[in-house]
Amino acid sequence: MQSLLIRGGKPLAGAITISGSKNAALPMLAAAAAFREPCLIRGCPALTDVDAAVEILGYLGANVKRCGCDIEVDPRKIHRWEIPRALMEKMRGSVFFSGPLLARFGKCSLALPGGCPLGERPVNYHAAGFAALGATEHPDRPDVHQGALQGTEITLPYPSVGATENLLMAALGASGVTVIRNAAREPEIVCLCAFLRRGGCKITGDGTGIIRIAGGLPGSGTAAVIPDRMEAATFACAAACAGGRVRLTGAIHTHLTAVLDALETMGCAVDRDAAGITVTAGELTAPGIITTAPYPGFPTDAQAPFMAAVLRAKGETEIRETVFESRMHHIDGFRAMGARVEQTENTARITGVNRLCGAETTASDLRGGAALAIAALGARGQTRIRGLEHIRRGYENFAGKLNALGAEVWTE
Measured from the CB atom, the residue of 300 and 361 that comes closer to ligand EPU is: 300
Alpha-carbon span 50 to 57, nearest angstrom: 11
Candidate list 44, 69, 116, 268, residue with the active-site label: 116
Q: Three-state SS for 275?
A: coil
Decide whether 116 or 290 has the Cβ nearer to ligand EPU. 116
Task: Report, in angstroms and rounded to the nearest whole number, the Rg of the chain calculated over CA atoms.
Answer: 21
Q: Shortest CA distance to 126 belongs to which of 144, 110, 142?
A: 110
- DSSP for 64-130 reads EEEETTEEEEE-TT-------HHHHTT-GGGGGGHHHHHHHHSEEE--------SS----HHHHHHH
Identity of the residue, 210 or 214, whose beta carbon is nearer to ligand EPU in the bound complex: 210
- Nearest-approach distance from CB 19 to ligand EPU, in angstroms: 13
Give the three-class secondary structure for 139. coil
User: Which residue is closest to ligand EPU by CB?
Assistant: 162
Active site residue 191: no
Q: In terms of CB distance, is 57 or 286 closer to ligand EPU?
A: 57
Count of residues in the chain: 412
- The CA distance from 239 to 167, in Å, is 38
Strand, coil or helix: what is 256? helix
Which residue's CB is nearer to ligand EPU, number 8 or number 20? Answer: 20
- For residues 118 and 292, give the distance between their C-alpha atoms in angstroms, rounded to a whole number: 14
Query: What are the residues binding ligand EPU (CB under 6 A)?
Result: 23, 26, 92-93, 116, 119-126, 158, 160-163, 230, 300-301, 323-324, 366-367, 394
The residues annotated with a catalytic role in the active site are 116
